[in-house]
Every structure is written in structure tokens, then in C-alpha cells.
Amino acid sequence: MAQQQQQTPLPEAIASQPWNPSTWRSKPIKQSPAYPEPSKLKKAVTELGRMPPLVHPHEINALKAHLREVAQGNGFLLQGGDCAELFDYCEQGAIESKIKLLLQMSLVLIWGTNKRVVRIGRMAGQYAKPRSSPTEMVNGQELPSFRGDILNGYHVDEREIDPNRLLKAYHHSAATLNYIRTALSSGIADLHRPLDWGLGHVRDPVLKEKYSKIASSIQQTLRFLQVINARPGELETVELYTSHEGLLLEYEQPLTRLMEKPTHPGVSRPGTPPGSSPTIKPVAGDESKEYYDTSAHFVWIGDRTRQLDHAHVEFFRGIANPIGIKVGPTTPTEDLLALLRTLNPSREPGKITLITRYGAGKVASLLPTHIRAVEDSEYRSCVVWQCDPMHGNTLSTPTGIKTRRFNDIYSELEQSLRIHKEQGSYLGGVHLELTGDAVTECLGGSEGLDEDDLSTNYTSFCDPRLNEKQALELAFLVADHYSR
Ligand code: PEP
Ligand code: MN
């Protein structure tokens, strides 16, 4: 039969279609694995469907309310963590060092921006990776690509896709999240002790001094207390939300549950528009419930899976969570608005975060057009603009090591801050791949890491991450920009 050119349906047409957590199955899908044993997959998915939610609608809606503030220029979103979280990272030290780094960065950001900082970890579920090729070369051997611990293992003997890993991903997410909650409720984030968070691996005296100055003056600063809206007892802990790319719909679907919309006054703020699209009526006549993807507070659609008429957009249009969309050089401007209209037809402020990732050489020519398209439309001040200066700046060294130049990362962030200011819009967040460990994965920074240094401590199994010092330098860039 002759191939007919398919017209992409209009957003209004998509949004008027009935939705349930499995309607994505009738759409074409990218990056979806072929599971070798369908019966094992079915068993795993059934078991996931029985498991309790990992996060609660109360928390999801609280995050959405915070992101609404960010969209309107009254907060800043810090999101960071590994490119690919491994099951092995589910241990005390790795979790604590990431929490501490996010806390240190947010301290710097609060100080500089004079705004509330919303923190989201790429943690407790960031196990699925999109890949550009089904195979990759490892030590001269062609192997099925490593697609993240939720599907197969990095080790050469574990490259076969194993559906039981879906359950393992759930359990590792649960254990990680449990320790995040425990650590936060046990004083790790006590603002009376910011110096105890230590600058473990940072030796640069200038950076240390800058950080210490901020940290030691905090206790005396009334302005700071006002910004964080402190009440007695609230200084001892902070909120840290979780996120991952919602790539594996076989995993997200069974964790998507029809649950009561929270009515807690602190969560549903006065004037907050209803959480769901008017066209999605999960149960006839029942307006009190919505579908929540309880695998994480925030999930995002990756750069490779944001086709309007495909499965990922279909799945995401029905969930009440705040969501992200990666936006890059291959995003046509028309698609941007079509995506907003499909995924957020009721125009809830803060529902969508646009995570822009163009690369240092392209951001100046592409970002202004994207900003104008959104800010001159009915979505003005509705989205959170977040800069991901990592994914447009990946390169390979002549010896084949995946890396990024710190200067390119810094430059994309600096240009994005400037462009938003020029365009009269607000850059409300950064999205970073980082780790609290002293890794040597990105070139440059004030330590001046060069290609020979990369092998000193290169431990990422996917994209290169910023180390503690490089990450703090970026926090200071944003803080300095907003404090001017
Ligand atoms: C990622 O965030 O790790 C990723 C794969 O990004 P992108 O979809 O923007 O390429
Ligand atoms: Mn990545």
C-alpha cells in the first residue's frame, strides 16, 4: 500500500480524545525496548500495579504550586543529579553527597536571587536512558547498548533486557527516596549548620571563602528568613522532590493511579486553577480525582520522544504531575506551542517546564525565537524556563571519551540568562548533571582539567557530570546575575 503523508493532528483534536493510562499503547512509540519474554514482562507490570505509590498527590500538587511561583518569577528551580542513576548508587554516601551538593547550591542561589529555591533531584528513579544506537562498542566488542539499569546492566554479561529490572527499579527508587526522606527529617538540611555540609572535595580557596561567607552570615539574616518564609521548626529541613525522564511507559503506567485531588489548604492555594484538563474526565462525574504518576513528583519528556502524535506525549497529557519537555535545536517552533496546547490545554501556570538544551554555539540563534513564540502567545508567564546547559554540549575526545567543556556549559547558561533578560522573560531554573563526588568528567573549570585528567576519576556510565566545584561555580554564576 502506498505510504500516505500523515498530517499531525491539531492539539485541540488530541486533547478532546478520551484518555486513560494505557491509551499511549495505540500510538507509535520511540525508544521502546523489545522485551524478550512477554510473560515475564506481564508479571512484572502486574506486580508494579499492586505496589504502593512512591510519592503522594499532596506532594505532587505542592511541587506544582511551587513551580507556579517560579513561572511567575517568584522562585528558582534547581534540578540536578546523575545522567544515569545506577542501582549501585542506592547507598548512604552517594545519596547524602548529592543532597548536600543540592543544598549548598541552593544556599548560594537563595542568597543571590533573593527568591525561594525549589529543589528537584534527578534521583530515586532516573534509571532509563534513551540511546541513539541499538548497539555500542565496548573494548572492541559490539554489544547491545546499555539502556539504563531499569532494562539491562552495564556489565558485558548483562546486556540482555530483563523485565524483572522494572521491579528492581521500583525497589531501588523506594529505598533511595526513603533515605532522602529520613536524612532530611533527621537534620541533614538544618540551616543552622550550613558549614557542616562541608565542601568535601573543593580545595579552591576563593570558592571556599565565597561559600563560607554566605553560609556564616545566614543565621543573622532577617531577609533570608523572610524569603524562605520561615516559621519555627521550618529551618531544620527543606523540601527535595524527585524526578526522572518518563521514558519507559511500561513502568510509568502501572504506577499511574486515580487518586483524590488534595484539598489541604496549604497545598491547593486559593486561585489555583483545577489541576486537570477539562477534557480528561477519568471517572464520569467524578471531579474529585485525577491520575497521578506516583513514580516521582516530576517527570519529563526527553528530546528524542516529544513527537506530538506519539506515545509519550499521549501518556503525559493525562497525568496531573508537573512535567518537563526537553527543547533543543531539533524542536520546530510550531511544535513548541502545539505541545503546550496538547499537554496543558487549561494553561495551568507552572504545569510545564521547558528545559532548553541547544549548545553554547546555537543558543543565541535559537532561544530568542522560542521565547517569543511562547511569551507572545496565550502561554505568557505560564511556563518555567529552565536551562539545561549539558546536553547540547557533549563531545568525544580523540580517544573516544564522552566529555563536555566546562566553558561551553558556563557559556550556554550565561547566554541564556542574558537572552531571557533581553527578551523580558524569566530564566527560572537550571537542570544539571552533577555528582557530589570529585569526578573528572567535564573538561576545564577553575581546576583546569584537561584530557589527560579525565581518566583520574571518570565513573559515569552515561553522560559526563559536573563535580562539586564545577556545580558550585554555576550556582555562583546564576546568583551573581540576579544579585546585580
Ligand atoms: C538526559 O537528560 O539525560 C537526556 C538524555 O537529555 P536529552 O533528552 O535532552 O538528550
Ligand atoms: Mn544525560
What are 424-450's pLDDT values in tens digits?
999 999 999 999 888 999 998 777 889
Q: Which residue out of 79, 316, 326 has the highest number of ligand 1 atoms within 8 Å of its CB and is therefore the one to mutate?
A: 326
Answer left, alpha or beta for residue 367, where phi above 0 means left and psi between -120 and 50 means alpha. Answer: alpha
Using the mean position of ligand 1's atoms as its centre, give its distance from the Cα of residue 31 in Å: 13
Separation CA 74–CA 66 (nearest Å):
9
Q: Which residue has the higher pLDDT, 110 or 279?
A: 110
Enumerate the β-bridge partners of residue 466: 434
- Among 9-13, 154-158, 230-234, 248-252, name the one with the lowest average pLDDT: 230-234
Helix (H, G, I), strand (E, B) or coil at 11: helix
Residue 4 has a pLDDT of 44
CB of 326 shorter than 6 A to ligand 1? yes
Residue 214 has a pLDDT of 79
Q: Which residue has the higher pLDDT, 212 or 364?
A: 364
Residue 236 confidence class, pLDDT cut points 50, 70, 90: low
Q: Is the pLDDT of residue 278 over 50?
A: no
Residue 276 confidence class, pLDDT cut points 50, 70, 90: very low
Residue 289 assigned to a binding site: no
CB of 293 shorter than 6 A to ligand 1? no
CA distances from 80 to 32, 183, 242, 377, 474 (A): 25, 18, 10, 30, 12
Shortest-distance Cα residue to atom 4 of ligand 1:
302
Residue 465 has a pLDDT of 96
Using the mean position of ligand 2's atoms as its centre, give its distance from the Cα of residue 457 in Å: 18
Using the mean position of ligand 1's atoms as its centre, give its distance from the Cα of residue 391 in Å: 6
Q: Are 327 and 356 in contact (CB under 8 A)?
A: yes
CB of 303 shorter than 6 A to ligand 1? yes
Q: Is the pLDDT of residue 273 over 90?
A: no
Residue partners of 380: CB distance under 8 A and separation at least 6: 374
Q: Is the pLDDT of residue 198 over 80?
A: no
CB of 349 shorter than 6 A to ligand 1? no
Task: Measure CA 232 to chain center.
Answer: 31
CB of 200 shorter than 6 A to ligand 1? no
Separation CA 96–CA 401 (nearest Å):
28
Residue 371 confidence class, pLDDT cut points 50, 70, 90: very high
Section 27-34 average pLDDT: 96
CB of 302 shorter than 6 A to ligand 1? yes
Residue 2 has a pLDDT of 40
CB of 391 shorter than 6 A to ligand 1? yes
Residue 187 confidence class, pLDDT cut points 50, 70, 90: confident
Joined together, the cell numbers standing for residue 464 give 559526563
Residue partners of 104: CB distance under 8 A and separation at least 6: 194, 197, 199, 211, 468, 472, 475
CB of 357 shorter than 6 A to ligand 1? yes
Half-sphere exposure of 235 (CA within 13 A, CB side): 15
Residue 348: closest CA among 373, 384, 398, 402: 384
Residue 270 has a pLDDT of 32
Per-residue pLDDT of 374-427, as tens digits, reads 999 999 999 999 999 999 999 999 988 999 999 999 999 999 999 999 999 999
ipTM of the complex: 0.99
Percent of the chain with pLDDT over 90: 73
CB of 9 shorter than 6 A to ligand 1? no
Neighbours of ion ligand 2 (CB under 5 A): 83, 463
Residue 265 has a pLDDT of 43
Task: Measure CA 12 to chain center.
Answer: 27
CB of 130 shorter than 6 A to ligand 1? yes
Residue 480 assigned to a binding site: no
Q: Are 280 and 305 in contact (CB under 8 A)?
A: no
Section 268-296 average pLDDT: 61
Using the mean position of ligand 2's atoms as its centre, give its distance from the Cα of residue 50 in Å: 31
Mean pLDDT of the chain: 89
Residue 83 assigned to a binding site: yes
Shortest-distance Cα residue to atom 10 of ligand 1:
303
pTM here? 0.91
Q: Is the pLDDT of residue 48 over 70?
A: yes
Percent of the chain with pLDDT over 70: 87
Separation CA 299–CA 48 (nearest Å):
18
Residue 115: closest CA among 427, 435, 469: 427
Shortest-distance Cα residue to atom 3 of ligand 1:
83
Residue 277 confidence class, pLDDT cut points 50, 70, 90: very low
Q: Which residue out of 83, 127, 306, 404 has the highest number of ligand 1 atoms within 8 Å of its CB and is therefore the one to mutate?
A: 83
